[in-house]
Amino acid sequence: MVRKISLMLCAILTAWVSFVCLRIEVYNVEAGGYLPRRPVRGGYVTKWRCASPEVIWSMMETKFWTEGEPQEDGSYRVRPLTHDEKSQVLEMMERASLLSSFHDFIVRFGLWQYLLAPLALVWAVILACLRRQKAHPDDTPHTTPRRLPNGYRATAICLAVLSAASMVLMFYRGYGPSLGW
């Protein structure tokens, strides 16, 4: 009974680790393959910064306004944005919002992978390596040892493979280093 409960708890932990890993992969595809971060300046990864949509809107408005010629007093004529300029700003705001959500998910859940994925892997390997239980002292001498339930070892091996795959993606994508910490 204890082994069945242990297997169920390991399955729940592995399911959580796999869910977080898959969600990060979906975010990464939506973000255009943002992870793993590539070294830029000087061969190191810069800190992952997120801008709010309001900041992007004001920056882009200022950029489009200052592309014109300055007036006599040095200021620039304020004009409404064209349709193309608005669509460009909205596209940048959507991307910034997506990257911000992606960043928040990694900070909240992705970093826990460094603790939970190895724990799930070790737990599943231990469960897969368990042998049959020895006969209980109260049993008669001719009874056979208690067997593990059917599929127990196969389930534990599948959990170990899922945990190992999550760890491979975690290290390949570099959840922690991608944040620039």
pLDDT digits (tens, 9 = 90+) for 5-22: 999 999 999 999 999 999
Question: Which stretch, 13-17, 54-58, 86-90, 124-128, has highest mean pLDDT?
Answer: 13-17
Instruction: Evaluate whether residue 64 is within a structural domain.
Output: no
Q: How many structural domains comprise the chain?
A: 1
Instruction: Evaluate whether residue 154 is within a structural domain.
Output: yes
| 166 vs 154: CA distance, rounded Å | 18
SS3 133: strand
Instruction: Evaluate whether residue 56 is within a structural domain.
Output: no
Instruction: Evaluate whether residue 160 is within a structural domain.
Output: yes
Expressed as residue numbers, the domain containing 171 is: 2-45+101-136+145-178
Instruction: Evaluate whether residue 89 is within a structural domain.
Output: no
> pLDDT tens digits for 69-83?
666 776 666 666 678
> pLDDT tens digits for 23-32?
999 998 998 8
| 163 vs 13: CA distance, rounded Å | 9
Instruction: Evaluate whether residue 174 is within a structural domain.
Output: yes
